Structure 1
């Protein structure tokens, strides 16, 4: 949600309106008419018509035969570019895919983007439950995912509290931690075991575990690697999972160092 108090003085209204239109269309897979878009974005029909025509010309929305608009192919191009930028060097993606193939568990890479925990790369494993939400760009539920916990553990307690207040602690399942106090205790337990984890806190029957790859001074350069597995498998395999994740973390670091050189 946008913070009205943080609105820049030089905000370009037409650009802001166009993005609101794009967001509204993106949330409606069945398509929207110009009047529907105008109503959802609280704009006049005339203004909405001009914005939609411009977005259609640029390829960001597409008009169907019934007169409704859906997202255009340019969105897919921008998403692919985002995935590449988020993932980092191609060698990092190779490390994740190799780990997923060797273990059978989906492997994930998370980092801070704009001060918010986000999932930036995914390599799916055949033995892991499928989580459709876990795609590059996913930035919800840091308090309920292991990669979110690993990254938040790199903050001070005051910084974590502020993060949780800003983004909330949505109860995804009955097991989700929903108070800062329980979250702090969970983070401390993860630090002691050398592995942040959650079992059924984001999705019932699913567990994730994570370790920090880098905890650099620059918040946006901090990384965490995680894996997902059936909830029943987590505790019996916790030590093995930790060992494997630590090895993947070292391989990711080596891949990034080699790319920088």
Structure 2
């Protein structure tokens, strides 16, 4: 029994524990604190504290200025990473909600640094997502997500994208050339959804609604098998209503 109890106790690395206590102590002082004060607050011998403070400073978890230690940029990067994970989790929860409520595969994508970025997909075996058989970034002209994002760009950015990723047919139903694509984008009013029918994948219809997150063009999209095409417009309207209810919320107010 004693052996079983001991096996349940995790193996702790003392130096890591002591370093974390120093970081917590430093974080409690907005304007920083000297080594002696941090050692005292962390309950550490001064020589041990000095050794760990040098290591933490070298790794940029702390910054030393005139004998005072403050949190370094590595701590900021950890915090940003945690915040990004939380935001991604919130996005995925929202997509899952719409997936189940509407009964479709749901996608979230952004246009970042000159490229289409598919951030998250939520689907089920009964509402499968479209398989990415041709590079999504290079074929933005052929799918609703890409057309929606390109429609949110200014003319120079849109033409630059098409220079780098030329319009060419992906299926027999795809838009044929750049002028045809630009005419389609011009016909789609601001804030209106984009629709495509078997342009990226045969047997599939898709729609995407535009969302702007600060300066970041974004979109939420859905797809359906072509034999369920009659559901597409009602599903888009249901999605638009759901997204509109969140436009002022934390989910949309935070840049991802």
TM-score band by shorter chain is 0.5 to 0.7
- Asked whether 1:116 is paired with 2:110, we answer no
Partner of 1:226: 221
TM-superposed deviation, 1:240: 1.2
The SS at the match of 1:95 is: helix
The SS at the match of 2:211 is: strand
Question: What does 1:28-177 correspond to in 2, within 5 Å?
Answer: 85=84, 88-133=87-132, 138-177=136-175
| 1:114 to 1:258, Cα distance in 2 relative to 1, 3 A | closer
The SS at the match of 1:88 is: helix
CA contact (8 A) 2:206 2:232 kept: no
TM-superposed deviation, 1:258: 7.1
Partner of 1:214: 212
Partner of 2:244: 250
- Asked whether 1:200 is paired with 2:195, we answer no
Q: Distance in 1 between matches of 2:131 and 2:85?
A: 18
Unmatched runs of 5 consecutive residues or more in structure 2: 1-80
Q: Distance in 2 between matches of 1:146 and 1:117?
A: 12
CA contact (8 A) 2:171 2:198 kept: yes
Q: Distance in 2 between matches of 1:181 and 1:239?
A: 26
Structure 1 length-normalised TM: 0.57
Partner of 1:33: none
Unmatched runs of 5 consecutive residues or more in structure 1: 1-81
Q: Which has the higher Rg, Structure 1 or Structure 2?
A: 2
RMSD over aligned CA atoms reads 3.0
The SS at the match of 1:208 is: strand
How many residue pairs were aligned? 172
CA contact (8 A) 2:203 2:225 kept: yes
CA contact (8 A) 1:89 1:256 kept: no
| 1:182 to 1:138, Cα distance in 2 relative to 1, 3 A | closer
Structure 2 length-normalised TM: 0.58
TM-superposed deviation, 1:246: 1.1
- Asked whether 1:237 is paired with 2:231, we answer yes
Deviation track 1:36-58 (CA, whole Å, cap 9, x = no partner) reads xxxxxxxxxxxxxxxxxxxxxxx
The SS at the match of 2:171 is: coil
TM-superposed deviation, 1:259: 6.4
Q: Distance in 2 between matches of 1:139 and 1:85?
A: 22
Deviation track 1:211-255 (CA, whole Å, cap 9, x = no partner) reads 112163x2xx22100001112433x33431331221343355424
